[in-house]
Structure 1
Amino acid sequence: MHADEIHPQARAAMASQVDLSRLRRFGPKPLRLLARVANRWENRNPPEVGDVTDRTVPGPAGAIPVRVYRPRGGGPSPTVVFFHGGGFVLRSLESHDVLCRRLVRESDCTVVSVDYRLAPEHPFPAAVEDAYAATEWTAENADRLDSDGGLAVAGDSAGGTLAAVVSLMAADRGGPDVDHQTLVYPAVGANERRESVERHAGTVLSKEDLAWFRDCYFESDVDRRNPYADPMHARDCSGVAPATVVTAGFDPLRDGGAAYAERLVSEGISVRFENYEDMVHGFATMYEVDRSRELVADVAADLREAFESKSESESKSDTAGGGDA
């Protein structure tokens, strides 16, 4: 499931990244500071979209910051609630600003990017609670967002896990209605016995890095087995939304993501799975890498198809039921 070698663009991007293994002993705060500096450079010429608004939405522990990106052209559009990666410890709205803008441009969807609470200051289930609350707010405020009613969840890495968990929670709790889930190299089903961990730990993420993120996020082993921490532990996934699952060939998390895609298929969920064989963990935000743009175009096409299918289904239902008369 991996190419003979890492793509040269991805290897060059890796060389310019902060060495997490050397700096994590100082704790998350210095790493977040370094990230803010890097984000200012990355975001200096952002892709244009119709409108960008920072606001807050109600959460279980107070206001949750979100950033709402609207497509150009006006008119109602489907909405994607996006959760950034970073091991539940790092990264922010700023780290994924360019990615969200690209997604808006490619999909013609409104994107609501969620600045959920981070560990270790706010361990599990804080991020999950914020992610679900933000999704509920988005569904309940379709008019305010000029939404046409279409709703998807998406995220990369830890954010991909949150998107999967929100889809599971929505199925368990009877809403909100999620039409699609986009999981980009999600941190699901991960354990050290998987072949991808054995072969590729040390490429972007080492075993020690994975353990550090885990120890920051979870306060006990019991939490780790919670299905809202990792939906691979859920008894039943048959009610979750159709999914796009993306993995990277040289990613330690690859096999966990692939296993979750297989599980969803086995429980009757429509899944498009794609493994970018020559890529590494985090390539979606390696903006100088061509595959990053290809990824956004691919997942945006899946979102458009999902929303178009929903619209067609609703139209057939209205016709069969005689419309609103």
Structure 2
Amino acid sequence: MTLHPEIAKVLATLPAPPPDPIDPAVLRTAEESQVLPVSERLPLHSVRDAPAGEVPVRIYTPAEADSYGLLIYFHGGAFFLGSLETHDHIARSLARETGLRVVSVGYRRAPEAAYPAGLTDCLAAVRWAADSGELCWDGVTLAVAGDSSGGNFAAAVAALAHDEGFGAITHQVLYYPSLDLDFDVDRYPSLRENAVGYGLETAGLKPFNAFYLDSGADPADPLVSPIRRADLGGLPPALIITAEHDPLRDEGELYGRRLREAGVDTTISRYPGAGHGFVQHFSWIPEYHRAFTETAAFLNRR
């Protein structure tokens, strides 16, 4: 299927990529400038900022209840972009569609914070969510989710928690995850098939992720490239959503197949006509909003 016409229309209006070197401050400012005012965002029962220990989080409550299943969400942004604000609309939609209380994590970003600061923050937020009576966790559902580099963190947190004997995580949801930070273009066919013209371009992967890698993240480390983990057995059930026209498509789908081979209940769902970032940028298109309803069905099944 060709790129969805609404996506193609938007991509045609975008300026050329910024010249090297990439300036994190400039890109962050540009990204934040696109955020809708609070009055125009999806309304929920409550949305509030809070500290999870030393990690800032934003808590989204869809309705009043005595207890809640929890979804801990990690935003994307190549480990140096993204924030509680830029991904607020995703967290709101997840809360509305799943009925779970969503906790979005404002983890530390590269290059200011060296590896593994961001990953450490994400795991700390999950542990806090499970242990804090403040969230009224129902003890049944505690999912981790993330998009792109946030999907990397979700997979790594699930693995870390397993290795540390923390068994509370019940699900992992990975939206077009970045799971292999070795950017050899011959590693996966999708890196060449979707190299140019679909938003995220293969040539941009290395420079955009350089802030994270230069901070001490080793692509050979399974906590940096979760697809490198030798034994995937015992990890939580997974929903992996990929985009047809995404350079990262094949690594996400390979990870899903490897999870299945390890005995993990895994759903791999490819969205036709979509490119990388469609959950963040194009969920207003009905067929892509389905990513939220598919997530809800996955998280709420018994």
Give TM-score, length-normalised by structure 1: 0.86
Aligned to 1:57: 52
Does structure 1 retain, via aligned residues, the 8 Å contact 2:180–2:219? no
3-state DSSP class of the match of 1:22?
coil
Cα distance in 1 for partners of 2:15, 2:88 equals 19
State the Cα distance separating 1:208 from its structure 2 match.
3.0
1:12 matches 2:6: no
Given residue 218 of structure 1, which amino acid in structure 2 is its aligned partner?
L
Q: Contact (CA 8 Å) 1:224, 1:230: kept in 2 or not?
A: yes
User: Given that residues 183 and 245 in structure 1 are in contact (C-alpha distance below 8 angstroms), is that contact kept between their aligned partners in structure 2?
Assistant: yes
Give 1:174's aligned residue.
165
The offset of 1:213, in angstroms, is 2.3
Q: Which moved more, 1:239-248 or 1:222-231?
A: 222-231
Structure 1's 16 and 104: CA in aligned 2 closer, same or farther, altered over 3 A? farther
**Residue 30 of structure 2 is aligned to residue 39 of structure 1:** no
| Aligned counterparts, 1:199-238, within 5 A | 199-202=193-196, 203-219=198-214, 223-238=218-233
1:139 to 108, 130, 135: 130
Q: What is the DSSP-based 3-state SS (H/G/I as helix, E as strand, rest coil) of the residue aligned with 1:25?
A: coil
> Which of the residues 289, 296, 300 maps onto 1:300?
296
For structure 2, the 5+ residue unaligned runs are none
Check 1:23–1:86 CA distance in 2 against 1; reply closer, same or farther (3 A cut).
farther
The Cα offsets for residues 44-90 of structure 1, whole Å up to 9 and x where unpaired, read as 511111111101122xxxx2110000111423110000000111010
Describe how 1:34-183 pairs up with structure 2 within 5 A: 34-40=30-36, 44-58=39-53, 63-141=54-132, 143-149=133-139, 150-183=141-174
Higher helix share: 1
Question: What is the 5 A alignment of 1:267-306?
Answer: 267-286=262-281, 287-305=283-301
Aligned to 1:256, which of 251, 255, 258?
251
Shift of 1:222: 7.1
Shift in Å, 1:22: 2.0
Q: Could you state the TM-score of these two structures normalised by the residue count of structure 2?
A: 0.93
> Could you give the per-residue CA deviations for residues 170-213 of structure 1, whole angstroms, max 9, x where no partner exists?
11110041100000100013642111011112221223320112
Q: Which has the larger radius of gyration?
A: 1
Which residue does 1:196 correspond to in 2? Answer: 190
Q: Whole-Å Cα distance in 1 between the matches of residues 149 and 262 of structure 2?
A: 23
Cα displacement string for residues 122-160 of structure 1 (whole angstroms, at most 9, x for unaligned residues)? 23212111111111111111x210220120000100001
Are residues 47 and 285 of structure 1, via their aligned partners in 2, closer, same or farther at CA, if it must alter by over 3 Å?
A: same
In structure 2, C-alpha distance between the alignment counterparts of 1:302 and 1:281, rounded to whole Å: 21
1:35 offset after TM fit, Å?
1.0
CA distance 1:26–1:288, shift in 2 (3 Å): same
Amino acid at match of 1:242: P
Alignment partners' CA distance in 2, 1:65 and 1:18? 33
Aligned length in residues: 296
Q: CA RMSD in A?
A: 1.8
Q: Distance in 2 between matches of 1:300 and 1:270?
A: 16
| Percent pairwise identity | 34
Displacement of 1:18 in angstroms is 6.1
Structure 2 CA distance for aligned equivalents of residues 73 and 220 of structure 1 = 42
- Aligned to 1:121, the other structure's residue is in SS state coil
- Aligned amino acid, residue 248 of structure 2: L
Q: Distance in 2 between matches of 1:216 and 1:168?
A: 23
Letter in 2 for 1:14: L
Structure-2 separation of matches of 1:176 and 1:39: 36
1:26 offset after TM fit, Å? 4.2
CA distance in 2, matches of 1:126, 1:274: 31
1:266–1:289 distance in 2 versus 1, CA, 3 Å: same
Q: What are structure 1's unaligned runs of at least 5 residues?
A: 310-325
3-state SS in 2 of match to 1:153: strand
